[in-house]
Structure 1
Amino acid sequence: MPRPLRVAIVGAGPAGIYAADALLKSAVAADPGVSIDLFERMPAPFGLIRYGVAPDHPRIKGIITALHQVLDKPQIRLFGNVDYPGDISLDDLRTFYDGVIFSTGATADRALDIPGIDLKGSYGAADFVSWYDGHPDVPRTWPLDAEKVAVLGVGNVALDVARILAKTAEELLPTEIPPNVHAGLQANKAVEIHVFGRRGPAQAKFSPMELRELDHSPNIEVIVNPEDIDYDEGSIATRRGNKQADMVAKTLENWAIRDVGDRPHKLFLHFFEAPTEILGENGEVVGLRTERTELDGTGNVKGTGTFTDWDVTAVYRAVGYLSDKLPKLPWDVESGTVPNEAGRVVEATGEHLRSTYVTGWIRRGPVGLIGHTKGDANETVASLLEDHAGGRLHTPEAPAPEAVEAFLAERNVRYTTWDGWYRLDAAEKALGEPQGRERVKIVERDEMLDASGA
């Protein structure tokens, strides 16, 4: 009797779980069956949902419900707190599996090459997000002593950073933020946040709903300069062809023509301002210099030679995420991705790296919303199954499921399981219950492992 197809997925965020779901829905899952093991370096699954989405976005976190249903399937096992390649290497994975899919995402900040970027008070948005989301591997405190702050970028991460900086700690207390984050935000001195984009309203990458949510806080006054509302032929074409871009532009137009209110925290959205230098004194941020830009007819912009110095003492760059290079896999330095064709990893020689695949942001770069990774997963899984049908997958030496558990035990790897997630989930909910909160996130890795029964 033929054995089930054995597949390892490295990374248990949305991309990896969508790939598992696609495998389960394939014909192979019925005959002869498929057996999937998800390896995750964090003690808990869900990746970006748990450690990359702002805590005041329960709607987005609701995606966990759908991902839960996938991980509940008996054909799937979770091995959390297992690091690639520290605990298990590609060669090790090939010992146990017919195919390996990497879905490790992107967690680092993309570089911004302007003078002053390394000054004290200049931060990467990804680092700040990890702090307020209770990531176990980052410091427990964050310096929040700047009264005036700049955020560089006009995507949803920039909005998240600006909103968390502008809200009060008490507004965020009903969310799942851990005690150290709440204490840090109580000491936050920011009362004026400036968000900068080098192009215009039609080119902003905000989601319409996320943008509108800025205005829902009783403490945040959102301000748009009427002079920043400008369109050229390229911008008009973008609005006509993209409903979301049009909705964003309309929201910004409405904010630009209204009177400024008296909410205590001011959040300015600036367009046509390209950051050129972070200004410093004695090694610390004392300002931001931008160059005014103008549209060139195509939706792109050019510099005008007019510069402005902004009085800020902290700068957050939210100009994109960057994936970490994966050992034993080829790497495209420019895009920060693994070269691939339809998810198949491609070596420098042009040959496919046998039985090895990628999906999600490690495959195509950190663009698009969470749901967009579904299409990636479907295509990658189709490639794997096509190779399986064509006899192009290698044959593992030890395909028995228990062989992996024995391997991790022999390496003294303290790993978590899907049952362990249920225990951790219950522990976090129990912490929140006395305060009337849905949960309080556990931060320390050892505490997460203990709660999980690792």
Structure 2
Amino acid sequence: SAVAVGVGNVALDVARILTRDPAELERTDMPQPVLDVLTTHTVADVWVVGRRGPHHASFTTKELRELCALDGVQVTVDAGAFEGIDEADLDRRTRANVDVLRQAATRVVPEARCRLHFLFWRRPVAIEGDACVRDVQLERTALDAQGRVVGTGDISTLEAQLVLRAIGYRGVPLPGLPFDLERGVIPNREGRITTEDGHPLPREYVVGWIKRGPIGVIGTNKSDAAETVRLLLADLADTPRDDAEDRALLDLDRHLAERGLHPTSYDDWRRIEAAEATRGEGFGRASTKIEAWAELLDLVALDRPGGPPTPADRDG
């Protein structure tokens, strides 16, 4: 039995890997040591635990629907999870998520090989065990008058041998930049950082979750980054520069190296891709991911002056 604490896409990823038939994963680029562990350990129950309700979860609907439709997986949603939800107040994504969970909870899977449980309005208060995890203590939660999550004192216990933290991300302020404390993001307009009253700040940009909040998948981040870079290039084209600034831009790699910083280049990325393709050939796959951080650093340092990073560099 495994518990994933969190109700976002990371928790869905965890649940999907643990509930899928390991034989299906043999075709993927997953590192072989990971596949070996998944093949030799059977997970009968996976619990996805969240301290709020299903209408507060940040799942992406496509990923949630695919997970709930996996062959051989029986989905359950705890009793009362949908009580008090006014679907008229929900946005399109949230309403779709609630509908997917309702339908999944009614689907009966004969002779299911494993079970996926969505447990809402709970929070972990203790993990117990000696040499390994034995069980997780969960407290029922509720919203107070101010809309904050509070514990009710109602404690239950889940037997489990694995607990995974998937509680997501919240941005933190950076010195000298405005910050929206309520949303946990840097104020911006399409990637241009703005002051709190909406005026753009010159030469300052933002991408990813610190730009829009912790939601979305890889494709979302790609389009998000493209939006910001388009504005950055447009601003650069409209900004007068002298020869010294142009030379500084051309010597950016040297300036970074003088500060002990070594950016990863597109050639580095292609070297990693080639090494992963070579590794995949040995397993009859198109590619197999390299999971060791030290090995990745060695690959990107092959043509770097000074050779591979030192152990201190790797630790940093």
TM-score in same-fold range (> 0.5): yes
> Aligned with 1:435: secondary structure?
coil
- Aligned: 1:399 with 2:248: yes
RMSD: 4.4
* CA distance 1:215–1:281, shift in 2 (3 Å): closer
Aligned to 2:77: 224
Normalising by structure 2, report the TM-score: 0.71
Q: How many pairs does the alignment contain?
A: 299
- Aligned: 1:237 with 2:88: yes
Matches within 5 A, 1:350-365: 355-365=203-213
CA contact (8 A) 1:203 1:299 kept: no
Aligned to 1:268: 117
Looking at structure 2, the residues matched to 404 and 338 of structure 1 have their Cα atoms a distance apart, in angstroms, of 28
- Aligned: 1:170 with 2:23: yes
CA contact (8 A) 1:338 1:345 kept: no
Match of 2:273 among 416, 425, 428: 425
Aligned to 2:312: none
Looking at structure 1, the residues matched to 205 and 247 of structure 2 have their Cα atoms a distance apart, in angstroms, of 20
Looking at structure 1, the residues matched to 57 and 258 of structure 2 have their Cα atoms a distance apart, in angstroms, of 51
Looking at structure 2, the residues matched to 305 and 411 of structure 1 have their Cα atoms a distance apart, in angstroms, of 52
**For residues 23-80 of structure 1, what are the alpha-carbon distances to aligned partners after superposition, in whole Å with 9 as ceiling and x for unaligned?**
xxxxxxxxxxxxxxxxxxxxxxxxxxxxxxxxxxxxxxxxxxxxxxxxxxxxxxxxxx
CA contact (8 A) 2:123 2:140 kept: no
Greater RCO, 1 or 2 (C-alpha within 8 Å, sep 6+): 1
> Aligned with 1:228: secondary structure?
coil
Looking at structure 2, the residues matched to 393 and 364 of structure 1 have their Cα atoms a distance apart, in angstroms, of 34
**For residues 374-411 of structure 1, what are the alpha-carbon distances to aligned partners after superposition, in whole Å with 9 as ceiling and x for unaligned?**
4575367537745874659996373362x234456777
* CA distance 1:394–1:220, shift in 2 (3 Å): farther
* CA distance 1:199–1:393, shift in 2 (3 Å): farther
Match of 1:378 among 221, 227, 238: 227
CA contact (8 A) 1:149 1:193 kept: yes
Which residue identity does 1:159 align to in structure 2?
L
State the shift of 1:284 in Å.
5.8
State the shift of 1:175 in Å.
0.8
Matches within 5 A, 1:99-110: none
Aligned to 1:179: 32
Identity within the alignment, %:
32
Looking at structure 1, the residues matched to 205 and 104 of structure 2 have their Cα atoms a distance apart, in angstroms, of 46
**Larger deviation: 212-221 or 332-341?**
332-341
- Aligned: 1:317 with 2:168: no
* CA distance 1:161–1:389, shift in 2 (3 Å): same
The unaligned stretches of length 5 or more in structure 1 are 1-147
CA contact (8 A) 1:337 1:363 kept: no
* CA distance 1:336–1:212, shift in 2 (3 Å): closer
* CA distance 1:297–1:228, shift in 2 (3 Å): farther
* CA distance 1:392–1:384, shift in 2 (3 Å): farther
* CA distance 1:394–1:298, shift in 2 (3 Å): farther
State the shift of 1:179 in Å.
2.0
**For residues 264-287 of structure 1, what are the alpha-carbon distances to aligned partners after superposition, in whole Å with 9 as ceiling and x for unaligned?**
22221122x321512435586443
Match of 1:205 among 55, 58, 62: 58
The unaligned stretches of length 5 or more in structure 2 are 304-316
